[in-house]
Amino acid sequence: MAKLTEETKKIIAEHGPALIATASKQGKPNVSVKGSFRVLDDEHVAFVEGGRLYTLANLRENPQLSAIVFDPATGKGCRIWGKAEIVDSGNLFDTISAEFAARKMEVKHLVKVAVEEVATF
């Protein structure tokens, strides 16, 4: 597992959303925007998944993903490669669900990503 640098954490905190790229078992790609993308700790990021057809289906078949966060004003950004875990219960799910409930939004699934590689640019 790779560790997120302080620079990467700062980019994610300041310049979301992230573009999340997934692929089905057959290799059909999908890219979606996730405004909830965040750092969990030095080795994990996460985002809320509302049950959209392709992202969740792809992750169930193939948990590998890539995420990119980019600030077009400065040209700075980061890319993360990792392995996703779909979380539907437990402390982390409850904590993030409560945060979104305060904004009148429902969390159907949380995707926790173990960071395997990270690059800043």
CATH number at residue 114: 2.30.110.10
pLDDT at 95: 97
Percent of the chain, pLDDT > 90?
A: 93
Residue 1 within a domain: no
Question: If you average pLDDT over residues 7-36, what whole number do you get?
Answer: 95
Candidates 81, 88, 79; CA nearest to 56 is 88
Question: If you average pLDDT over residues 81-106, what whole number do you get?
Answer: 95
For residue 1, pLDDT over 90 is answered with: no
pLDDT at 16: 84
pLDDT in tens, 41-87: 999 999 999 866 799 999 999 999 999 999 999 999 999 999 999 99
**Full domain range(s) for residue 94:** 6-120
Residue 46 within a domain: yes
> How many folded domains does the chain comprise?
1
Residue 10 within a domain: yes
90 contact partners, CB below 8 Å, separation of at least 6: none
